[in-house]
Amino acid sequence: MTQTVSDPADARQPGSPPTARVISIVELLAGPDQPSLTLAEIVRQIGLSRATAHAIVGELVTRGWLVRDPTSGTYGLGPGFVTMARTAGDADHLGRWAGGAARELSDRTGFACFVARRTSPDAITVADHVVPDHLADHSGGRPTDAGEASPWFRFGQRIRLRPPICREFIAWEPEDIRATWIAQAPEATRTRLRMVLDVIVERGYSIERMTDDHVAMVDALSSLDSMSDRLRAKVGDLLTELSVIDYLPDELDGEIAAVTIGAPIIDASRRVVASIVACPNTTLSVGELDDLAAATRSAADGISSHLA
């Protein structure tokens, strides 16, 4: 039987068992892999009663320390915990510089921007984000208003690193990691994915193509954990096959429909730990795309320089 923090062995230790229960749940979800777990999985791994775990998790969600994915029913770290940890951790240079860089990029380009942080081997979390006034208050001329843009930068939103999205996090990885990631995609798309990853490294950013169903596709890819392995693979393959992945150099001609442009933020170990993302969600000329991409890369390089 798994020992719980309320067992006699635990009671002999100094301290507060109720506090230990809370800490044990936070430490579990804030571990090296930062897993997203259901309540049943938390109960099984920590050894608490379901009622006790439910009460603790509910309070942590209320406080913003955890968030619950309504589709999969899993719990992960929330923006409240991330913000608190960022404030307390003087060593968090990424958090220190990313918010200002996102604001400057948004002011410079007039587009919404966000920073996505690598929070586990297979997921990122939307962190700092900025919505320009003309989008937030629905005044001013761009066709994308705040309501349309908001799915891209809901604070604390977790997105799975599954093909074909989040490519700027994978392009600079070692070949074996890239190969494992590509292998999750349908065989018919793998050649293009390999080409696209090489192009992203060469030019320094990814481009997400704009389609009517793009936001729905990303949400679907991010919620596949709630399905069985077999169904998850089939649905993920179908979504990938229905999407056109990024732009190759000879496709950048005329009007370019772009949802986002994402540039990697690289730490001292040369690992991509985050990306800064501009959200045009409109069509751009090649010149406009080049200017926006250059500004996004410059913002990412500026943050990276503080992590070196």
Go through the chain and tell me how many residues it has: 308
The answer on 161 and 105 residing in a single domain is: yes
**Domain of 12, in residue numbers:** 8-81
Question: Are the C-beta atoms of 161 and 123 separated by less than 8 Å?
Answer: yes
* Amino acid 32: pLDDT: 65
Q: Does some domain include residue 2?
A: no
Residue 3 counted as domain residue: no
Alpha carbon distances (Å) from 95 to 98, 122, 231, 241, 274: 5, 20, 37, 36, 10
Whether residues 130 and 14 share a domain: the answer is no
Give residue 219's pLDDT. Answer: 55
Q: Give burial (CB, 10 Å; 0-12/13-18/19+) of 8.
A: exposed
Q: Is residue 54 part of a domain?
A: yes
Measured distance CA(288)–CA(109) in Å, rounded: 10
Show which of 54, 81, 108 is a domain's final residue.
81
| Side-chain half-sphere CA neighbours of 250 within 13 A | 1
Q: Are residues 145 and 65 in the same domain?
A: no
Tell whether 86 is covered by a domain.
no
Does 299 fall in a domain? yes
Q: Are residues 299 and 235 in the same domain?
A: yes
**Global confidence as pTM:** 0.63
Say yes or no: 149 and 66 in one domain.
no
What's residue 17's pLDDT?
A: 85
Going by the DSSP 8-state scheme, the letter that residue 163 receives in this structure is T
Q: Is 137 among the domain residues?
A: yes
Q: What would the two tokens of residue 170 be?
A: 């994978």
1 in any annotated domain = no
In this structure, the answer to whether residues 147 and 217 fall within a common structural domain is yes
- In this prediction, residue 284 carries a pLDDT of 95
Boundary (domain end) residue, out of 31, 55, 81: 81
User: Is residue 171 located within the same domain as residue 49?
Assistant: no
Together in a domain, 139 and 158: yes
User: Same structural domain for residues 77 and 98?
Assistant: no
What integer pLDDT is reported at residue 54 of this predicted model? Answer: 93
Rounded-to-integer distance, Cα 24 and Cα 18, Å:
10
139 and 268 belong to one structural domain: yes
Contact by Cβ (8 Å): 127, 117 = yes
Beta bridge mates, 160: 123
174 and 299 both lie in a single domain: yes
Q: Looking at residue 87, what is its pLDDT?
A: 54
Look at residues 219, 216, 205, 300 and name the one whose alpha carbon lies nearest to residue 256. Answer: 205
Per-residue pLDDT at 36: 87
Burial level of 128, CB count in 10 A (0-12/13-18/19+)? buried
Q: Hey, what amino acid is at 1? A: M
Look at residues 81, 101, 128 and tell me which one is the last residue of a structural domain: 81
Number of structural domains the chain divides into: 2
Judge whether 230 lies within some domain: yes
Our CA dihedral for 216, 262, 265, 34, rounded to 10 degrees, sits at: 10
What CATH number corresponds to the domain at position 68?
Answer: 1.10.10.10
CATH number, domain of 282, equals 3.30.450.40
**85-120 CB burial, b ≥16 within 10 A, e <16:** ebeeeeeeebbebbbebbbbbbebbbbbbbbbbbbb
CA distances from 45 to 137, 165, 257 (A): 46, 31, 46
pLDDT per residue as tens, the chain (308 positions): 333 333 433 443 456 788 889 998 998 888 766 778 999 999 999 899 999 999 999 999 988 889 998 888 999 988 878 766 655 554 467 877 888 999 999 999 999 999 999 887 888 888 888 888 877 654 333 333 333 444 455 777 778 888 888 899 999 999 999 999 999 888 888 999 999 999 999 999 999 987 655 555 555 555 555 555 555 555 555 455 446 789 999 999 999 989 899 999 998 889 999 999 999 988 999 999 999 999 999 999 999 998 87
Identify whether residues 184 and 58 lie together within a single domain.
no
Per-residue confidence (pLDDT) for residue 196, from 0 to 100: 96
How far is CA 47 from each of CA 50, 53, 76, 90, 259, rounded to the nearest angstrom? 9, 9, 18, 34, 44
